[in-house]
Amino acid sequence: MKTFLKVLSIMAVLLIGGYIFTYFFVKDKIESFLEEPVLYGVATYEDLDLSLFRGSVNLTKLTWKSNKNESRFEVAYLSVKDVSYKALLFDDHIQIHSISLSEPHVFLHKVTDSTQYSSEKNGKNFDKKIILKHLRLEKGSFVFKKDSIEKVKLKSFELDIEDMLSSKDKRTEQIPFTYGDYTLKSREVFFDMNDLQELRVKELHLFKDKISLTDLYMSPKYSKKDYIKHISYEKDWMDLKIEELTVNKYELDLEEKNKFYSPLIEIKNMNFDVFRDKTVKDDITKKEMYSEMLRNLDFGVKIDSMRIRSSRLTYEEQIKKPGSAAAIFFDELNAEISDVSNLDLKREDFPTTKVKIKTQFMGKSSLNFNWNFKINDTLDRFRVNGSAYRIPDTSINSFFTPAFNVEAEGGIEQIYYNFSGDKNVASGDLKLNYEKLKFHILKKDRQRKNKILSFIANMMVKNSSERGGVSQNVGQVKRDKTKSFWNYFWSCLQSGLKKIFI
C-alpha cells in the first residue's frame, strides 16, 4: 500500500510539475511570439491569461503598431477558445473552436512612396493549415487611409464568420481562406470614390445571400458652382440618394474569374440629380454604347432583374452664363430592367436586355419608355419606343427657355416615338398630336419677346397637327460618337420634331 501511495505521489508531482512546466513553456512561447516583429510591426498587451485544460488564451488591451507607417490595431479583449491538442500533435494543423475580439479598432495606412520604409523581414514562413469554427468581432471600427486621404471608414461594425479554413496554398490567393456563413453589420460607412464624389451609407447589412443598404448617399465634394474648378472637360455633377437598396441571393466568385450574380436587385425611393455645365470644354473622347460598356467590363456580371420604385430623376444643363440652368425632371419613376449579363456571350440563345420605365414628366405628364438591346451584339443594335401625354407649355419651357431662349405657348397632347439603330446610325418614326402651339423668341434678358423674330418663326411653324396627330420618319440620324447614348436618343427626337413643325 505504501509503495502504491509513493508511486501515486510521484505521478501526481510529475503531472503537476509537467503541467506547470508546460504552462510556463506555452506562455513563454506566446509572449515571445508577441514580442517579435509581426507584419512589420510590434505588438503589446496588458495581460495574458492561459488555460491548458480548456485550451484557451485571453489577451487584454492588445495593441499592434506598424513601424512602416501609421497602421495600428487595437482590441480591448481577445479570446481564443478550445484549441485542439489532438489536431496540433497528431494531425499537424491548428484547429480552434472560436476567436472573439471585443472593440477591435483597425487603422490601415498605405503610403505611395514605400522606399522610405525599412526592408525588415517578416519572420518565418508559416505553412500549417488553420481551421477556425467561428470568428466574431464586435463593437469595432475600421479606417483605411491612403497617403493623407481617408478612403474607407466604418464608424462601427460587427462581423461573424463561420467555418474558416486557411492553408499554405490558399494564403497566396486574393482571399486567403475559405468560409461558410458570414454576417457583417455596419453603421456610418464612408468611401472616397474619386476627386469629385464620396459615398456614405447609414446602415450596411451583409449576409452570405443578401446585401441591404439603408440611406445610401453618393454626394459631390463640391457645389454646382465650384465643381468646374476641378475638372478639365465636361463632366456630370451627380447627387444620388437611395433610401433602400437590396441585393437578393447574390453570388460572388473572386477565385477563377471575378463574377457577380443576383436574381433580383431592388432600389426604393431613389433621388438622382445630374447637372452638367456646358460652358466647360467638350470631352471629345469616344463614348461607348451601354451594351459595349457592359460587354467590356473586366468582371463578369449576371443580374436577372432590377426594380426601381418611387424614385425621381432631375437633369440640368448650364448652357449659358449668366442665367438659370435648363432643367427637366421625372418623378414617380418606376423601372424594370431584365437580363443584364456579359457571361457566355457566344451562346445562341443570349437574352435581350429590356428596360421598361413608367414615370411622370415634370410631375404632370405620363411617360412610358421601352428600350431593348443585346449586350453580346458587337454592332450595338437597339430599339427604343414610348409615349408621353398632355405636356403643358410650362414643362416645355423649363428646358427650352434657358437652353434655346425660346418660350412655347400651348402644349402637346400626345407624342409617340419608335426608333431603332446601332452604334453608327438610327432611324424611326415620331408622331405628335398638338393644337395652337406657338413659339416666342426671347431677347437676351429672357423677359421680353422679340416680336419680329417670333412672328417670322410662327409663320414657318405648323401651329397645329392634323386630327389624330401627324407622323414623320426621322430619316437617318448619324450618331456623334463623342456624345452619350442619351444625346443620340435626343438627336432622333429633335430630327422628328423639326420635320413635324417646319
Judge if 74 and 137 occupy the same domain.
yes
Most confident listed range (172-186, 273-287, 315-329, 403-417): 273-287
Q: Give how many domains the chain has, as a whole number.
A: 2
Of 192, 214, 241, the residue that ends a domain is 192
- Distance in angstroms (rounded) separating the CA atoms of residues 157 and 233: 39
pTM for this structure?
A: 0.85
Q: Is residue 386 part of a domain?
A: no
Longest dimension (CA), the chain: 131
Q: Who has greater pLDDT, 117 or 389?
A: 389
Closest listed residue to residue 34, CA positions, set 25, 44, 26, 24:
44
Q: Is residue 210 part of a domain?
A: no
Q: Is residue 63 part of a domain?
A: yes
Domain range for 100 is 40-115+125-192
Q: Is residue 60 part of a domain?
A: yes
Alpha carbon 121 to its chain's center: 37
pLDDT in tens, 390-406: 988 888 878 777 666 67
| Residue 21 pLDDT | 42
Judge if 56 and 183 occupy the same domain.
yes
Judge if 17 and 89 occupy the same domain.
no
| Residue 89 pLDDT | 64
| Residue 214 pLDDT | 98
Q: Is the pLDDT of residue 485 over 70?
A: yes
User: Is the four-CA dihedral 148, 154, 160, 163 of positive or negative sign?
Assistant: negative
Of 192, 216, 249, the residue that ends a domain is 192
> Looking at 30-34, 369-373, 391-395, 493-497, which range is the least confident one?
30-34
Q: For residue 306, how many other CB atoms are within 10 A of its CB?
A: 18
Give, in order, the Cα–Cα distances in Å from 131 to each of 82, 173, 177, 179, 432.
Answer: 12, 17, 10, 10, 69
Judge if 81 and 165 occupy the same domain.
yes
Q: What are the cell numbers at 149? A: 486621404
The confidence band for 219, taking pLDDT boundaries of 50, 70 and 90, is very high
The confidence band for 26, taking pLDDT boundaries of 50, 70 and 90, is very low
Of 192, 207, 233, the residue that ends a domain is 192
**Beta pairing partners, 50:** 57
Judge if 103 and 140 occupy the same domain.
yes
Q: Is residue 204 part of a domain?
A: no
Judge if 143 and 5 occupy the same domain.
no
- Distance in angstroms (rounded) separating the CA atoms of residues 72 and 82: 28
Closest listed residue to residue 135, CA positions, set 188, 75, 191:
75
**DSSP symbol at 325:** P
Q: What are the cell numbers at 192? A: 472616397
- Distance in angstroms (rounded) separating the CA atoms of residues 188 and 261: 26
Q: Is residue 502 part of a domain?
A: no
Judge if 30 and 139 occupy the same domain.
no
Check: CB of residue 438 under 8 Å from CB of residue 453: no
Q: Is residue 301 part of a domain?
A: no
Judge if 182 and 132 occupy the same domain.
yes
419 Cβ neighbours under 8 A, 6+ residues apart: 383, 384, 385, 426, 427, 428, 429, 474, 489, 492
Phi, psi of 19 (to 5 degrees): -65, -45
- Distance in angstroms (rounded) separating the CA atoms of residues 369 and 388: 9
| Residue 8 pLDDT | 47
The confidence band for 444, taking pLDDT boundaries of 50, 70 and 90, is low
Judge if 45 and 182 occupy the same domain.
yes
- Distance in angstroms (rounded) separating the CA atoms of residues 12 and 2: 15
Q: Is residue 410 part of a domain?
A: no
Judge if 55 and 173 occupy the same domain.
yes
Judge if 161 and 66 occupy the same domain.
yes
Judge if 8 and 129 occupy the same domain.
no
- Distance in angstroms (rounded) separating the CA atoms of residues 267 and 261: 17
